[in-house]
Chain A
Amino acid sequence: MTPDQILAEIREANLSYLMLAQSLVRQDKEQALFRLGVSEETADLIGMLTSAQMMKIATGNQLLCRLRMDDDVVWNLLTSHGKGAANDGMSRLHASILMAGRHHEAA
């Protein structure tokens, strides 16, 4: 990827993220807090963004969203590390429970 391509891809990803986040917040704010893992203040801000603001925010060389699971336990469960593919269903469910329990990261 050329630097120009990288910037274009990041802008694209940021814009998709912001647009999705905004429709989630507008549809059901409380569920959006769970889906996005952001604080209520952030959700309110996202909900009020205009298209022009979104375009401006999306432009840059850094992604706006980051990975929500930064520990080995969840990461290994999601990738079913070291276990057979058949175990996927259980590992995924296990990961969902752990991720649903992490509300302190949102606030």
Chain B
Amino acid sequence: MARSKSILTEARQIERAVTLIHLGARLQVLESETDLSYERLLRLYKEVAGRSPSKGQLPFSTDWFMTWQPNIHSSLFLNTHEYLNKVAALDEIDAVIKAYQLYAEQMKAQGLEPLLSVTRAWRLVKFVDNGMLTMTPCSRCGGHFVTHPHEIARHYVCGLCHPPARAGKGKLAGSLGAAARDIGTVSTH
């Protein structure tokens, strides 16, 4: 890996890495997005997070993004990410960081658990870049949602316009569950 000679470049990379660690990114994200060596990243991680990074492989499947609640969270993040990319010229990783901060902040404001981790958000952007995932407008509300490519746009209805029958039956705190359950009871009256 080509090491950057510039101290300023390195300082910026360290700053990015620190931001990503604070957001909870896995070490693989840092390795991929900076030119810092594995050893330095590991030390930085321990210093910033106060613990060793979690081990194991990154999730590599696109399936997670297609399940009901994760799809809603991923769509909010990706819309924010696209927004930033359309209005400003940002480095790829900075766009991910800034969009993720805005997403996490919105979740906090609404008292919801941020289901999407920054690592997943980063993966999502990679999947979209590779053409493995895309966004399709919902035929009812017009909002753009994360889908597999080649989704037939004319027939596509998003998970919010048409929630699945058993949506939100889980008891996860801060999930959309309570809301969805109550729709169920309201509609039976």
A and B bound? yes
The segment from B2-10, B40-48, B81-89 found at the interface with A is B81-89
Query: Is chain B's binding surface mostly helix, strand, loop or mixed?
Result: helix
B165 at the interface (CB under 8 A from A): no
The segment from B26-34, B59-67, B149-157, B174-182 found at the interface with A is B174-182
User: Which bracket fits the contact residues of B?
Assistant: 35 or more
Those of A57-107 within 8 Å (CB) of chain B:
73, 83-84, 86-90, 92-94, 96-98, 100-104, 106-107
**With A and B bound together, what is the CA distance between A34 and B75 in angstroms?**
16
What residue in chain A is nearest B72 (Cβ atoms)?
Answer: A93
**With A and B bound together, what is the CA distance between A104 and B86 in angstroms?**
8
Query: Is chain A's binding surface mostly helix, strand, loop or mixed?
Result: helix
Those of B20-60 within 8 Å (CB) of chain A:
none
**Which of A40, A86, A107 interacts with B186 by CB under 8 Å?**
A86
* A73 pairs with B88, CB closer than 8 A: no
**With A and B bound together, what is the CA distance between A97 and B87 in angstroms?**
17
Q: Which residues of B contact A29 (CB under 8 A)?
A: 88
